[in-house]
A and B are shown apart, each in its own frame.
Chain A
């Protein structure tokens, strides 16, 4: 049980790094993302994250992680914080 937990934790960390790299690229954060924590709000807090950027983010997540996101899975709450986005990707990967 403990081993499984630490594996999931490791996976979440990798996902977080990957998402930060993607966000940095799409939003031109120039490294600002390095200070982001799970609680950092994204949607509504980062002005660069407009609908075009969200679509670019979704497409890039699909390409990098190799899953596809159905239209009805897209919800504003997913992009609320860095943590909610990591949870969403982790859910897709372990589904």
Chain B
């Protein structure tokens, strides 16, 4: 079993829980920073993130996982989180990685983590490559889907149907809202809703884009295809695939996706 280092990274006036998986080979092939998805999706995908990190470490990559502000075991409550603070966390995490290694950097995101990876790239001194796992294409659309959790739980308990309208009013009045057990500040909601999965300007690199589908032989969704073309037009080399795997970030039981792990490593090894 791979060794790993667990530590708290000081950031501003708090600290973030980090796990570093050092490369288990004599030659270091690359450095990878994992950026987790939003709210409950983070908890559901914790196991897959760890499995993939270990497998990457065994294949010669140094992998850092960070719990963003208000998430997991980092300091702060979820209601303290903002998109800007999360961007700052990623920049700090990259700086920590850079003290350890000078190997080429890849930002690996899952769902909203992909949005954050692409959005933060302009703040970095270097040009990272990206791994996107089932990327969220639009923060606005994601936020609308997330608010549905509130509405559905109210509809299911027989309440009136204006839950989303109430949430919007609360946010507009500057108050945090509670959805599925997470208190979300108006700044986070606003920050998230502004972000699209756009290619960073002046930052050309390579993208491994893995859409996840539970069925055999499915192609890329037309919306993904369209977005990939935009990244290609911006100069990125995009290696896009559909991988057969359960939607482990939302399934009821924690699921493994061994094929996704294998495809990810193979795609990363073929970069450069």
B156 contacts A76, C-beta separation under 8 Å: yes
A54 contacts B246, C-beta separation under 8 Å: no
CA distance A74 to B163 in the complex (A): 12
CA distance A87 to B52 in the complex (A): 41
List, in ascending order, chain B residues with CB within 8 A of A75's CB. 155
What is the CB-to-nearest-CB distance from B119 to chain A, in angstroms, rounded to a whole number? Answer: 22
A63 at the interface (CB under 8 A from B): yes
Contact with B along A32-76 (1 / 0, CB 8 A): 000000000001000010011111101110010000000110111
CA distance A58 to B148 in the complex (A): 10
A51 contacts B180, C-beta separation under 8 Å: yes
B152 contacts A26, C-beta separation under 8 Å: no
List, in ascending order, chain B residues with CB within 8 A of A53's CB. 252
A25 contacts B246, C-beta separation under 8 Å: yes
Closest to A69 in B: B148
A85 at the interface (CB under 8 A from B): no
B2 at the interface (CB under 8 A from A): no
Query: Chain A interface: which size bin?
Result: 20 to 34
A55 contacts B161, C-beta separation under 8 Å: no
A25 contacts B251, C-beta separation under 8 Å: yes
When the two chains form the complex, which single residue of B149, B161, B252 contacts A51, counting CB atoms closer than 8 Å? B149
CA distance A53 to B40 in the complex (A): 12
B247 at the interface (CB under 8 A from A): yes
| 10 further A-B pairs in the complex, CB-CB below 8 A; given A26-B251, A55-B145, A58-B148 | A25-B247, A25-B251, A26-B250, A26-B252, A28-B253, A43-B156, A52-B40, A54-B152, A75-B155, A76-B155
Interface residues of A (CB under 8 A from B): 21, 25-28, 43, 48, 51-56, 58-60, 63, 71-72, 74-76
**What are 30 inter-chain pairs, A to B, with CB distance below 8 A?**
A21-B214, A25-B214, A25-B246, A25-B247, A26-B247, A26-B250, A28-B253, A28-B255, A43-B156, A51-B153, A51-B180, A52-B40, A52-B149, A52-B180, A54-B152, A55-B148, A55-B152, A56-B250, A58-B148, A59-B145, A63-B221, A71-B148, A71-B161, A71-B164, A72-B161, A74-B148, A74-B155, A74-B161, A76-B156, A76-B158
- Sorted from nearest, which 4 A-B pairs have the closest CB atoms? A51-B153, A28-B253, A51-B152, A56-B250
